[in-house]
Amino acid sequence: MNNENWNDDAQLDALMEQLTVEKAPASLTRRLKAIPREQGRAGSRWSWLTPPQFPRWAMAPAFAAIPLLVVAVMLMQPRQPSAAEVEQARQDLIVAFTYMDKVGVRTGSEIQTILGSELRRGVKDTLSEHLPFTEQSLKEETT
């Protein structure tokens, strides 16, 4: 065999055939086959249908705890208010809203007063500069 023989793929292919897929070591096989056990059933879509892998002795106390859990959850539920409490809350709410309304109206009128006087002063000052008679007419108006 000389160098020219390497120019075609046939020689290489013949050599390639020697290179087969290597068998995985037994230690790797053991590690891979242990994956389902180690990873649990978390990855399975139907995991919620299958019973978890608890020891049998642990199942009885677990089932006994279920009614206790239900009672505890019921006790922790918020208490329903009585009709009188609901009525009282409604009245309180009405008072609160009425107060807020009044405050809103008063605040609005104060804003309007302040803004109005400011606007009037601004307009008056500007006009006085250019039209002196405006000052006089305003004085007359006020008297």
Among residues 18 and 80, whose Cβ is nearest to other proteins? 18
Among residues 12 and 71, whose Cβ is nearest to other proteins? 12
Among residues 50 and 91, whose Cβ is nearest to other proteins? 50
CA 88 to chain centre: 35
Among residues 12 and 58, whose Cβ is nearest to other proteins? 12
Please name the residues in contact with 50: beta carbons below 8 A apart, sequence gap of 6 or more.
41, 44
Q: How far is the CB of 65 from other proteins (least distance, A)?
A: 29
End-to-end CA distance of the chain: 129
Q: How far is the CB of 15 from other proteins (least distance, A)?
A: 5
Q: How far is the CB of 101 from other proteins (least distance, A)?
A: 59
Q: Which amino acid is at 8?
A: D
H or E stretch including 98?
Answer: helix 83-130
Residues that bind other proteins (CB under 8 A): 1-3, 6-7, 9, 11-13, 15-16, 18-25, 27-29, 31-33, 35-36, 39, 42-46
Q: How far is the CB of 56 from other proteins (least distance, A)?
A: 20
Tokens of 56: 């049998």
